[in-house]
């Protein structure tokens, strides 16, 4: 029946697509996508050819109307982005919102997400995580934005484009405590995949050690601030130490 399927696609390795996603892409009447060339290539890899509808951040509203009309006529439509899960630091949320508001069915087809892939292989304890996504591009705004994150206790997840990674690492090291752990997950699922964990004190040196390290796509994970309970304990220990010193 008429449904908008929100389909996750691979973030690098073409094998990372679900059987259900392939089946759905093969039965839909059209695929709404961020970039028709990229999605055309992807579908060709799986032996599929479909009507493609360009749905990028500048035309989401108009496309939503087109998709709603098609869905009302009983069509099934897939929504994909260039990589990973649509609507997560990618276009799609406005379309999904409009389609849902029109009372039509939206079904997610889960799959690759750079954030979750990075978290899963980081070794950080991620009972809670805070998805930040892309930081503001301008230095001043980035600084203010990061300052507000200082007391977040959950692991923070940042997305970064290669041309800004060095600046971002500098901004992180000048805002957060040097003892916090950071994980760089670069080129996940691709040939030059690299996952490096260090403290913020070591981060600038690591990123600058090799020019190749600054290439590709990054997820940066940052350990959160100590939880309030932990902070009380740290403070209690500090006071106990002072008292013990004074007693001796």
Binding site for ligand SAM (CB under 6 A): 11-12, 81, 83-85, 88-90, 113-115, 159-161, 185, 187-190, 217-219
CA dist 182 and 207 (Å) reads: 12
CB of 89 to ligand SAM, least distance (A): 4
CB of 113 to ligand SAM, least distance (A): 4
- Residue with the CB atom nearest ligand SAM in the bound state: 84
Angle CA 241–243–244, to nearest 5: 65
* Pair of tokens at residue 34: 């961020």
Query: Residue 160 or residue 223: which is nearer to ligand SAM going by CB?
Result: 160
| CB within 8 Å of 10: residues ≥ 6 apart | 16, 17, 42, 83, 84, 111, 112, 189
Burial class (CB in 10 A: 0-12, 13-18, 19+), 229: exposed
Query: Residue 2 or residue 195: which is nearer to ligand SAM going by CB?
Result: 195
Query: Residue 68 or residue 132: which is nearer to ligand SAM going by CB?
Result: 132
Query: Residue 108 or residue 226: which is nearer to ligand SAM going by CB?
Result: 108
CA 211 centroid distance within chain: 24
Burial class (CB in 10 A: 0-12, 13-18, 19+), 99: buried
CB of 88 to ligand SAM, least distance (A): 5
Query: Residue 2 or residue 126: which is nearer to ligand SAM going by CB?
Result: 126
Q: Half-sphere exposure of 102 toward its Cβ, with a 13 Å CA cutoff?
A: 21
CB of 193 to ligand SAM, least distance (A): 8
Query: Residue 63 or residue 117: which is nearer to ligand SAM going by CB?
Result: 117
| CB within 8 Å of 170: residues ≥ 6 apart | 204
CB of 210 to ligand SAM, least distance (A): 17
Residue 84 per-residue DSSP state: B
CB of 72 to ligand SAM, least distance (A): 28
CB of 184 to ligand SAM, least distance (A): 9
CA dist 28 and 49 (Å) reads: 11
Query: Residue 83 or residue 98: which is nearer to ligand SAM going by CB?
Result: 83
């Amino acid at each position: 029946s008429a449904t908008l399927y929100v389909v996750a696609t691979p973030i690098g390795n073409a094998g990372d697509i679900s059987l259900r996603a392939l089946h759905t892409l093969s039965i839909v009447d059209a695929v709404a996508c961020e970039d028709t060339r990229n999605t055309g290539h992807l579908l060709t890899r799986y032996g599929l050819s479909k009507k493609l509808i360009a749905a990028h951040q500048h035309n989401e509203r108009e496309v939503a109307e087109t998709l709603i009309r098609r869905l009302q006529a009983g069509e099934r439509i897939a929504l994909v982005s260039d990589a990973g899960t649509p609507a997560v630091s990618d276009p799609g949320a406005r379309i999904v919102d409009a389609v849902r508001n029109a009372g039509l069915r939206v079904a997610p087809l889960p799959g690759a997400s750079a954030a979750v892939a990075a978290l899963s292989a980081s070794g950080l304890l991620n009972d809670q995580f805070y998805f930040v996504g892309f930081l503001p591009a301008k230095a001043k705004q980035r600084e203010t934005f990061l300052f507000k994150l200082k007391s977040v206790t959950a692991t923070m997840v940042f997305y970064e484009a290669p041309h800004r990674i060095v600046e971002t690492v500098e901004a992180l090291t000048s805002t957060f405590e040097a003892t916090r752990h950071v994980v760089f997950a670069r080129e996940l699922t691709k040939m030059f995949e690299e996952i490096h964990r260090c403290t913020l004190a070591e981060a600038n040196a690591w990123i600058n050690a090799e020019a190749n390290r600054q290439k590709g796509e990054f997820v940066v994970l940052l350990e959160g601030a100590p939880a309030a309970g932990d902070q009380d304990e740290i403070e209690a220990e500090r006071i106990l130490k002072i008292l013990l010193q004074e007693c001796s």
